[in-house]
Amino acid sequence: MQKATIVVHGGAGRIRPEFREKALKGVKRAAEAGFDTLKRGGSALDAVEEAVKVLEDDPTFNAGIGSTLTVNGKIEMDASIMDGKTLNAGAVAMVSNIRHPVTLARIIMEKTDHVFIAGSFAETIAELFNLERCNPITEDRLKIWKEYKTKAIEGTYPYLPKLTDLIKLLPELIADTVGAVARDQDGNVAAATSTGGLTLKLPGRIGDTPLIGCGNYADNDAGAVSATGIGEVAIRLVIAKTICDFMKNGLIAQKAAEKGIELVIQKQNNLPMGVIAVDKYGNPGIAHNSESLSWAMITSDNLKTIAGLKYPP
């Protein structure tokens, strides 16, 4: 049997002090759910889906229930999943009332001929496959959104028509995407990522999360990566695939993750990003240049759940 590993993240956004304990508990719970799946002989793909579902159900994180709102107060969630064994991938964008966008991404991968479906037909597919519906807006998220919206109206918060202008001010925003990467006992790797996007994002804006190679990538010949932070940065650097290429060329997951963040620092003005990775041998990797990154991991070497709000802790 090969080394089994799961690593999860709860986003690179700033974590308010009152959410710290909840975030830590949430990432641990997700890592444990994913690792249970691996222990029972489940695939890496099953494990990352399970882990991300737990995070989507946790209102502490900006994915599924508790997703953040667009500038006009709507929910537009994005998610993706990728199987490193086959390179099959599925992604959804701009869905608004699905409890588990990651499961819908898996349905796109397994039940359609496509990789990525956005908008209303993605909702139709959710209906066809009887996926659970929910209203993801929570009181806490609404409060944060109103706070930022008020600042935007007063001019103390930059509400600008161009996303590039918004990006400059993004460190002020709450953005807690979730993700998981795993390697199973058969040596297969997988990655899944899910988000409500960036607070006050423009309607129709799609970030890195559902873009294969940007927010998410998995390849048994390299490893798996899930990214979080400013989506536009991850898109420009194709960061998940780039880090997988570093692993393919021989770097262990930790070194590859660090090298990915180096690129962000050097080529993207140090805008906040975080990445988790697992290489094809099951070594975990975590790196970020954001103030915090909630994360948790378990490997079959010692079966301990370790977690933190920054890395190294």
Cβ proximity to ligand ASP, 199 vs 300, nearer residue: 199
Cβ proximity to ligand ASP, 208 vs 279, nearer residue: 208
What is each CA distance from 111 to 83, 88, 91, 115, 309, in whole angstroms? 14, 12, 12, 10, 37
User: Given candidates 49, 184, 208, 219, which one binds ligand ASP under the rule CB under 6 A?
Assistant: 208
Binding to ligand ASP (CB under 6 A): which residues in 2-61?
11-13
Residue nearest to ligand ASP (CB): 231
Q: Identify whether the C-beta of residue 48 lies closer than 8 Å to the C-beta of residue 181.
A: yes
292 binds ligand ASP (CB under 6 A): no
What is the contact mask toward ligand ASP in residues 222 to 261, using x (rule: CB under 6 A)? ------xxxx------------------------------
Binding to ligand ASP (CB under 6 A): which residues in 167-186?
175-177
**What residues does 193 pair with on adjacent strands?**
80, 179
**Euclidean distance between CA atoms 36 and 313, whole angstroms:** 24
Nearest approach, Cβ of residue 145 and ligand ASP (Å): 14
**Euclidean distance between CA atoms 57 and 178, whole angstroms:** 11
| Span from 21-29, 154-162, 192-200, 245-253 in contact with ligand ASP (CB under 6 A) | 192-200
198 binds ligand ASP (CB under 6 A): yes
Nearest approach, Cβ of residue 200 and ligand ASP (Å): 12
Q: Identify whether the C-beta of residue 241 lies closer than 8 Å to the C-beta of residue 255.
A: no
Nearest approach, Cβ of residue 228 and ligand ASP (Å): 3
**What residues does 90 pair with on adjacent strands?**
81
Query: Please, which residues have CB within 8 angstroms of residue 78's CB and are 6 or more apart in sequence?
Result: 91, 92, 93, 94, 95, 101, 194, 195, 197, 206, 207, 209, 210
The sign of the dihedral angle between the CA atoms of 90, 295, 187, 259 is positive
Cβ proximity to ligand ASP, 184 vs 217, nearer residue: 217
Cβ proximity to ligand ASP, 188 vs 216, nearer residue: 216
What are the residue numbers of the active site? 177
67 binds ligand ASP (CB under 6 A): no
**Euclidean distance between CA atoms 311 and 211, whole angstroms:** 25
The sign of the dihedral angle between the CA atoms of 32, 6, 285, 262 is negative
Nearest approach, Cβ of residue 173 and ligand ASP (Å): 8
Count the neighbouring beta carbons within 10 Å of the beta carbon of residue 157.
17
Count of residues that interact with ligand ASP, criterion CB under 6 A: 18
User: Given candidates 209, 283, 290, 292, which one binds ligand ASP under the rule CB under 6 A?
Assistant: 209
The binding site for ligand ASP (CB under 6 A) comprises: 11-13, 62, 175-177, 195, 197-198, 207-209, 215, 228-231
